[in-house]
Amino acid sequence: MATPISDFPPAGTKLPAARRPPGLVGFIGLLFTLLGVSWAVVGAFLAPLLPGGWPTMLAVAGVVTLVPFTTFLVSRARGIYPGRLFRLTSFRFLWYSHFWLLLAMLAGVAGAAVGLLLVAVGGDSRVVGDAGRLTIAFASAVFVVAMIAGYWGSRQLVVTEMDVTHAAIPAELDGLRIVQVSDVHVGPHTRASWLKGIADAVMGADPHLIAITGDLVDDFDEDVVHYAKGLGALHAPLGVFVIAGNHDIYANWPKVRERLGALPVRVLVNEHVVVEHAGARFVVAGTGDPAAGRNAGTALGAVDIAATVRNLPSDLFTIALAHNPVLWPSLAERSLHLTLSGHTHWGQFAIPALEWCLASPFLEHAMGWHARGESLLYIHPGTTWWGIPFRLGTPPEVAVLTLRRVERGVAPGIGGRRSRQVAC
């Protein structure tokens, strides 16, 4: 049964025209303090090597930090939509240069600490600066190699198949394929050939249902135009379901949702639908995102679990789409069978054999699958990247989850994970 496209916004709804980035003033203050300290530390080591010394160092800091940040903030305040060239130059330069700056600052401090130890045991005091410069040089070399490897890794799209086993899956749904795409972060900078590769991988999996679990766009509602060009034609017999991610919220969710209304997708936010397949019925539910609310300039899209599950038929197998896995405990509490999330990107740097990723220190559920009672969670690693094209140990993924019925008493799980690389 194809699901209908919902009417949005409701008649008479006034859409906010301006977007207001979350906690902007405090964030900028903290950021510039951190960057100022970083330049001061790095300058202490490198200024003596530069012709002109500190004035040259300050000029470099101004060009690298102040010019692009000011350009970015002014363009943002004036509501100027950043095009492909601006994002590929200014945005990416900002990311790379400031990652290096923070790394160089930490390396310099570590090197100087070692130097101080050497001075304490009788070494020459000049060794402090030399040790700091040496570790900065070493860290810079590691940074360049890592960025090249990460860039290569960000282009290795894989299709990952896995089986979802659960006793609540009716026999008629055994073999049903859900293809999950997440965190594509599409903008004018996203290559058309990359999106075509994703679309081919999705449609090549012959999905019964497609789930797009948030972060479709990269912070601007106009990005939906680029999403539509690349992935707007995705289709499946049971529908294409879309939820909001935090970046869709930042992009002015009411506008994003309005634009998505022109596509053949079913936007599910704080609601659920009953879907029928082969004579059996099941539920697809979609949540809002915690990013909406107080700081996002819009309450539309905020999490409302009670509304999501209101009148939900408890006897049906239920698939919940929740961008942020932090929502899963609330969904598991309500015994929803399978939750599909994204958001973490697996930190874009992971060691799957150790079940560790860069997001692990910050989140209870950061990667892979989890079970709590009768509830399962799969955290998708993302189908593209955010910030800079960097992924190591966690390639961009199109996930194919096949439902498999098991006997009552068998613990539910997600297994048989197998990935293959696809041309992109």
Which residues form the interface with Fe ion (CB under 5 A)? 183, 215
Nearer to Fe ion, 215 or 221 (CB): 215
Nearer to Fe ion, 215 or 289 (CB): 215
Nearer to Fe ion, 215 or 397 (CB): 215
Closest approach of Fe ion to the CB of residue 67, in Å: 28
Nearer to Fe ion, 183 or 221 (CB): 183
Nearer to Fe ion, 375 or 383 (CB): 383
Closest approach of Fe ion to the CB of residue 42, in Å: 30
Nearer to Fe ion, 183 or 397 (CB): 183
Nearer to Fe ion, 363 or 371 (CB): 363
Closest approach of Fe ion to the CB of residue 214, in Å: 7
Nearer to Fe ion, 131 or 267 (CB): 267
Q: Is 302 exposed, middle or buried (0-12, 13-18, 19+ CB in 10 A)?
A: buried
Closest approach of Fe ion to the CB of residue 380, in Å: 10
Nearer to Fe ion, 65 or 324 (CB): 324
Closest approach of Fe ion to the CB of residue 160, in Å: 18
Closest approach of Fe ion to the CB of residue 76, in Å: 19
Closest approach of Fe ion to the CB of residue 251, in Å: 12
Contacts of 243 (CB under 8 A, 6+ apart): 212, 213, 214, 267, 268, 269, 286, 287, 289, 321, 322, 323
Closest approach of Fe ion to the CB of residue 132, in Å: 36
Closest approach of Fe ion to the CB of residue 190, in Å: 13
